[in-house]
Homo-oligomer: A and B are copies of this chain.
Amino acid sequence: MIRLDRTSTEPLHQQLYRQIRDELRSGSFSDGASRLPSSRALAVELGISRLTVNFAFSKLHAEGYLRSKAKSGTFVAHPLPETFLSPIKLSTARIGRGGSEICPAAKRPSRIADRVVELRDQRVGNQFDLGRTAAGPGISLVPSIPAVDEFPVAVWERLRAQVLARKGAHLLRYASHLGDPDLRKAIAAYLCDFRAVRCDPEQIVIAAGMQQAMLITAMAVMNPGEIAWVEDPGYLQARRAFILAGAEVVHKPLDNEGLMITRARRDPLPKLIYIAPSHQYPLGITMSFQRRQTLLDFARAHDALIFEDDYDSEFRFVGPPLPSLQGLDNSGRVIYAGTMSKILFPSLRLGYIVAPEGLVDAMAKIRNAIDQHSSPIDQATLARFITEGFFLSHIKRMRTIYAQRRDFFVEQFNALLRDRFTLQVPDAGLNMVAWLKREEDFPTVRRITLEIGIGPVPLPLVCIQAKLKPAFIFGFAAWTPAQIRESLVKLASALKAKGV
């Protein structure tokens, strides 16, 4: 059904090419056995020169629409190139999106993928994707969320423009697995001065946040099946990082001095002990000096490493900040790590490890195999932010704001909800544990918080083996006093309405 228009500006061979191509694309010749008329026959039929036909044929040939068989003529290629150039035709109807019905392997994730997030997490859909929870405009009082609206974005962007202007295209290239040298220096200086960490910039490994710091460490030091001790209740993300590295996770209970070092004689020894001594999540315990010594002695006796997550150490409201465990150690077995997520803003995805020198190279290799390196632009900007003093002044400013919000939260909470909860007021951090006075209220309170868009984390969700009384972990830092009051009033009236 070829119609050539001799009045068109489109050359005849191009018209012929286009029409045959479209005909083939329409699917009429999909069996692959169709032979085309000879160029001579087609030329006669259409009243054009054979040269024109040959020109169109050779183009179709080059593009894969036609193929020649020696001595038998020209055939329609099968499959046509276009059948895989136009994906819509094939996909949706016949095989469904991605065709997962057809491929069993694509429905069978690895065992690690199943293990890495506990069933208990999946039960509470909205808690799993922290991003979604925290980002939800209606959801308030979610723990561990800093007040990002107080972050001086304009200052940050100005420093970014300055480093881009100064270093230019250099910052767009591949960069060091260990991190920006200026940033490593700036962080080492900060940690020496303010966290009593012993370190040289050469020991600093930049990571994409605390999560990756834990993963890099686990992969750099642990062999599959080796034991990691973690706090229970504790930070589930730590557990996940160790599982991803193939480690076996053993859950250790806590008392009011911190992780308990008890061990039955038959229990295997840990290779690594994860702790957050400055401010434990979720219970807010600060590890006592005595316990720190016991822990270091235990690690020394059994040649174990300690991973110190210096969580929320910057936001201590009572007394001077406690020095790090790493600084107390004199055997180089503490791997110290921190993140900018709470101090600056979570989406920055920058943290750091202070590694014993013997592990720095292994960590660089692991980082290379995980994702190469962190954004050099963000790293250079952060280095300036620290060295120009914005970092310390931001911490100071936020400490004041958080202390005010903490006090306001306590006052309001006790005024409104004292009958139902016992509030445990923290010395540090962005969260607060509220213990239920009547355990049987737990399911109702849980349901109500979900219904009214208030996001405290139920304590049982972060307990693996620990059996603690039911409680909720409230965040107070990211909401203004007005928002705190509004949320607590809403919670109190909803509980009252339900007779709790």
Contact = CB atoms under 8 A, between A and B. Distances in A.
Given A198-B90, A332-B100, A222 B347 contact: no
A328 B84 contact: yes
Interface of A: 63-64, 81, 84-88, 90-91, 94-114, 116-117, 128-132, 134-135, 145, 148-149, 151, 153, 157, 161, 164, 168-177, 192, 196-200, 202-203, 207-209, 211-212, 215, 219-224, 237, 240-241, 243-244, 246, 271, 289, 300, 303-305, 320, 323, 327-333, 335, 341, 345-349, 355-359, 361-366, 368-378
Contact of A112 (B90, B104, B219, B374): B219
B219 A113 contact: yes
A271 B110 CA distance: 11
A116 B330 contact: no
Contacts of A170: 135
Contacts of A104: 303
B130 A220 contact: no
Nearest to A341: B174
A208 to B, nearest CB: 4
Given A164-B153, A375-B349, A368 B117 contact: yes
A106 B356 contact: yes
Chain A to chain B: the 10 pairs with minimum beta-carbon distance, closest first: A99-B332, A109-B362, A106-B356, A113-B362, A172-B345, A148-B172, A107-B358, A212-B371, A240-B369, A103-B333
A331 B370 CA distance: 29
Contacts of A111: 223
Give the copy number.
2
Nearest to A331: B102
Given A97-B357, A131-B173, A148-B172, 14 more contacts: A84-B323, A85-B327, A94-B330, A98-B203, A102-B332, A103-B305, A106-B357, A109-B361, A116-B366, A129-B176, A134-B174, A174-B347, A207-B371, A224-B224
B196 A86 contact: yes
A371 B175 contact: no
A354 to B, nearest CB: 8
Contacts of A132: 176
A369 B116 contact: yes
A256 to B, nearest CB: 18
Given A174-B346, A211-B370, A370-B211, A105 B169 contact: no
A372 B349 CA distance: 9
B223 A171 contact: no
Nearest to A144: B174
B135 A173 contact: yes
A347 B102 contact: no
Contacts of A113: 219-221, 362-363, 365-366
Contacts of A100: 332, 356-358
Contacts of A134: 173-174
A222 B99 contact: no
A346 B112 CA distance: 30
19 contacts: A88-B198, A96-B332, A99-B331, A100-B356, A103-B300, A109-B359, A113-B219, A113-B220, A116-B369, A117-B368, A131-B177, A131-B372, A135-B173, A157-B164, A212-B371, A237-B369, A349-B373, A349-B374, A349-B375
Contact of A349 (B240, B271, B371): B371
Contact of A220 (B95, B110, B223, B330): B110
B173 A345 contact: yes
Contacts of A174: 130-131, 134-135, 145, 341, 346-347
Contact of A97 (B88, B200, B219, B369): B200
A244 B369 contact: yes
Given A223-B111, A366-B113, A373 B169 contact: no
Nearest to A176: B131
Nearest to A81: B323
Contact of A169 (B149, B172, B199, B224): B149
Contact of A368 (B145, B192, B240, B335): B240
Contacts of A176: 129, 131-132, 135
B222 A305 contact: no
A422 B11 CA distance: 41
Most buried by B among A101, A365, A366, A375: A365
Contacts of A169: 148-149, 151, 153
A323 B91 CA distance: 14
